[in-house]
Structures are given as structure tokens and as C-alpha cells.
């Protein structure tokens, strides 16, 4: 008699079901895209002026920034990133999507996913979207250390140091050998005279 087979659940089906866009079907995406292309901001009237200033600053810095603020709650929180990605495909640049409860999503052609994740992790949760958007943008444009170049530079310095040390070591051994030969020659000369 054998035991019953063991069943492992690798992934559970999506409880909401359907395509990803079904999760945010309540958003009027064409209207949002139209507003973003016109002003760079899709947000409640009380938040739009400050966000438009940030969008204008980003434009002056050479970046296309678009900010969406919605009061709609979506689950899971990754939906905000999906919305940002879909909008970014229409607008280009960088899209920040803010939802209630500190939920946010980002998508960009200007900044890497690492830069955006780093910037969003340092934004003050619970702050107004305008403040969070400014913090994210300012952190994203901060100069970042290019660790690949830093590593290559360090390797080059170490190799140059090793070559210099080797050359000095060879010169020292040549000098030591010459001194030794000179001493030996003096000793040989003294021995032949004696």
C-alpha cells in the first residue's frame, strides 16, 4: 500500500482574475495620457500646481517627468508600477503614479530600475505626493557612483603598483648584484696580490 501523492502548490491563481489591465479598468487611461501629454500632471486640483512646478524643473534639467495621483486603491500594490509602465509606453520619460496609503509605482526610460527603487525607498512615506515626487526625482538625478568604472580604476592602480614594485625589485637586485660583483672583484684582486 503506497501513501497518497504529495501535492505542492507552486503559485496560486490571481484572486482578482483576468488580464492585468482589468485591475485598473476604472482608470480612464486615454484621458490620463491626454492630460499627461498636455501638462505632465494628472492629479487633484489642489496638488497639481506643485507637481507642475516639479515637471517644469525636470524639463529644464532635460528629463520628461509625468506624475499621476489617484485616489483609487488597487491590489496588489504592484498594480501602480504596471499602470506607470503602461502610461510610460505612451508618454516616454519617467512616470510616477501615486495612490492612497503610500502606494506608488514608477517606470522610466531615463533612470534605471535600481535608481528608481533606491529613490522611492528614501521618499518619506505618508508625505504629500508632491513632496514624495520631488524627493524621488531629486534622488534619481543625484550623481551615482559607477561601480564598474571604480572597480576598473582600482584594478589599474593595483596593476601599476605591482609593476612599479617589480621594476624596483629588479633594479635593487641588479644593484645588489653589481655591488656583490664589485666586492667580489676587490676580494679577488686582494687575494691575487697576497
Co-location of 83 and 153 in the same domain? no
Q: Which residue has the higher pLDDT, 95 or 125?
A: 95
Do residues 32 and 103 both lie within one domain? yes
pLDDT confidence of residue 15: 47
Sequence-ordered list of residues with C-beta below 8 angstroms from that of 166, at least 6 positions apart, any chain: none
- What dihedral do alpha carbons 53, 58, 59, 65 form, nearest 10°? -90
Cell of 127: 508625505
- Is-above-0.75 flag for pTM? no
Q: 149 and 136: one domain?
A: no
Last residue of a domain, one of 122, 141, 160: 141
Asked if 54 and 67 sit in the same domain, the reply is yes
Residue 123 near residue 144, CB atoms below 8 Å: no
| Domain match, 50 and 136 both | yes
Residue range of the domain that includes 39: 20-141
Q: Do 113 and 63 fall into the same domain?
A: yes
Q: Is residue 159 part of a domain?
A: yes
Residue at 69 is within a domain: yes
Res 31: pLDDT: 93
Q: What is the pLDDT of residues 20-76, one digit of tens each?
A: 556 677 888 999 999 999 999 999 999 999 999 999 999 999 999 999 999 988 888
Measured CA angle at 143 (ends 139, 148), to 5 deg: 120
Say if residue 37 is in the same domain as residue 119: yes
Amino acid at each position: 500500500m503506497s501513501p497518497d501523492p504529495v501535492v505542492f502548490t507552486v503559485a496560486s491563481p490571481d484572486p482578482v482574475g483576468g488580464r492585468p489591465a482589468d485591475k485598473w479598468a476604472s482608470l480612464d487611461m486615454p484621458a490620463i495620457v491626454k492630460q499627461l501629454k498636455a501638462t505632465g500632471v494628472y492629479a487633484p486640483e489642489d496638488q497639481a500646481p506643485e507637481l507642475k512646478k516639479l515637471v517644469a524643473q525636470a524639463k529644464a534639467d532635460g528629463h520628461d517627468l509625468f506624475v499621476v495621483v489617484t485616489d483609487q486603491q488597487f491590489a496588489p500594490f504592484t498594480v501602480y508600477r504596471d499602470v506607470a509602465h503602461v502610461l510610460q509606453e505612451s508618454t516616454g520619460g519617467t512616470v510616477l503614479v501615486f495612490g492612497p496609503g503610500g502606494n506608488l509605482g514608477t517606470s522610466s526610460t531615463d533612470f534605471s530600475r535600481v535608481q528608481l527603487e533606491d529613490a522611492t525607498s528614501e521618499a518619506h512615506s505618508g508625505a504629500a505626493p508632491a513632496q514624495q515626487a520631488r524627493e524621488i526625482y531629486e534622488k534619481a538625478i543625484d550623481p551615482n557612483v559607477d561601480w564598474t568604472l571604480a572597480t576598473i580604476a582600482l584594478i589599474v592602480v593595483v596593476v601599476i603598483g605591482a609593476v612599479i614594485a617589480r621594476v624596483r625589485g629588479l633594479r635593487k637586485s641588479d644593484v645588489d648584484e653589481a655591488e656583490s660583483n664589485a666586492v667580489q672583484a676587490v676580494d679577488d684582486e686582494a687575494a691575487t696580490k697576497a
